Amino acid sequence: MKRARQLVATVLAAVALVVTAAPSSPPSIDDLTWNPIFGTTSAPLANGAVWAITVDGDDVYVGGAFTNFAGIAAADRIAKWDAASQAWEALAPAGATDGSIISGTIYNIAVDAGVVYAGGKYTVDIGVNDCTNLATFTTATSTWEGFGSCPSNELIDPTKTVYTVEKIPGGPLYVGGNFLNANGDSNFDFGIYGTYTGSGWSWSGLGDNGAGGPALSDFVSNVVAHPDGGVLVVGNFGSGGGVTGANSLARFDATQTPNWYAQDTPAVSFYGALNTGTELYASGWQGAYLRTGGNSWRALCTTELGTPTATWGSLATTSSGLLLVGGNGLYACDTTDGGSATLVPNGGTVRALATYRGATIVGASTILAGGTDYIAVLGDVLPSTNGNSRQATDMVILLATLTALTALAGTQLLRRA
């Protein structure tokens, strides 16, 4: 009996060791290969730049300057991959033969509770009048709606551009860009946030500069949720909220005093930000950075990403632990201290990155992967739901082995009983 129990313990320990063993080598771009997205045929999906990619569960939204995405006449400048039907579809009223976005470019998309928020420099037909640059599409009714009375009294000046929209689930909508006097308020420059009260939107600025003026002095290019509360705001401003050092990358939290918090990053233009749920990244002029805690950040892959003329915007992480950094090219960065980056072949001019079930969807303003599309996948787009098909296969093998060995151990117990 004692020997059989020892056998069971040995089997369990051996399997646990295999399951928890760390990889023996650092992540490598050799594990990444280019693939068409969602079984794309030889016909190109997009005929123009893809600037926005947003994943909502298993659905994917793309935005940009394209028309007739995936050959759909009504999929102009925005389209959706519907996972349930396994097909691309337009964001337009049922039966529409042309797209609701009639001109321009969508730069950013957010999704929350069945509502799609689109920011950019564009014109959308809402049925009576045209609205510009910031609008919503409600999936339940298949309708577009602007903010404010279009076109005479819109939330955002029609001549300006919305670069980013960030919807906190169940919370505020943050809007950033190069606009002034949003909602007719002289302090609502470059960044605002709104809350929906059930009957309409209530808008606020991002505090002030400490002297009664606007909190920001120049454009906001990205906003993401911050782990410590509030949001990380990136752009080209100086002394956000009048706080020394809150330059181009800073934390804003309307629930705290003060509202603004400086970060120890260079005072250069920032364009990209990414919150993975466990890590916070930012990128911009001559570099990409990882938040190491509090207001502290560490520069990443400085030899390759810190070159004098480099500008980086889009960010995504791979299932193997690499950070993909896009701009005038695409680099895979090993984020360990002192790590280096490798240029991903055929990356083009990358404008958008998004992680989807362990793979990375890449959008660009040039041809990707030697093909004719402006959108492609780096990695296997249809792995198992745990994000890594190899890991899933290995786990099945391990469980089968465990079952067989446990059965063998049970037989030994019976024989000695």
pLDDT in tens, 30-49: 778 888 888 665 567 899 99
Determine the Cα–Cα distance for residues 127 and 320; give it in Å rounded to an integer. Answer: 47
As a whole number, mean pLDDT of residues 105-117 equals 97
As a whole number, mean pLDDT of residues 88-106 equals 95
As a whole number, mean pLDDT of residues 212-217 equals 96
pTM for the whole thing? 0.85
Annotate 192-210 with DSSP letters as a single string. EEEEE-SSSEEEEES-B-S
Residue 148 pLDDT exceeds 70 = yes
Band (pLDDT 50/70/90 cuts) for residue 15 is very low
Q: Is 412 exposed, middle or buried (0-12, 13-18, 19+ CB in 10 A)?
A: middle
As a whole number, mean pLDDT of residues 256-276 equals 96
The tally of CA atoms less than 13 A away on the side-chain side of residue 179 is 30
Residue 26 pLDDT exceeds 50 = yes
As a whole number, mean pLDDT of residues 233-252 equals 97
Task: Please report, for the chain, the start and end positions of each structural domain, with discontinuous segments joined by +.
Answer: 32-416
As a whole number, mean pLDDT of residues 61-85 equals 96
Determine the Cα–Cα distance for residues 327 and 284; give it in Å rounded to an integer. Answer: 9
Residue 242 pLDDT exceeds 90 = yes
Residue 24 pLDDT exceeds 80 = no
Residue 278 pLDDT exceeds 70 = yes
Mean pLDDT across the chain: 85
Helix (H/G/I), strand (E/B), else coil: 18: helix
Structure tokens at 357: 């079930």
Q: Is 172 exposed, middle or buried (0-12, 13-18, 19+ CB in 10 A)?
A: buried
Give phi and psi for 325, each to the nearest 5. Answer: -125, 120
Tell me yes or no: is domain 32-416 CATH 2.130.10.10. Answer: yes
Helix (H) or strand (E) holding 360: strand 359-364
| Phi-psi sector, 198: left (phi>0), alpha (psi -120 to 50), beta | left
Helix (H) or strand (E) holding 74: none
In this structure, which long-range contacts are made by residues 390-398, counting pairs with CB atoms below 8 Å and at least 24 apart in sequence?
Answer: 395/19, 398/15, 398/18, 398/19
Band (pLDDT 50/70/90 cuts) for residue 292 is very high
- Give the Å distances, CA to CA, from 223 to 219, 233, 248, 250: 12, 5, 11, 10
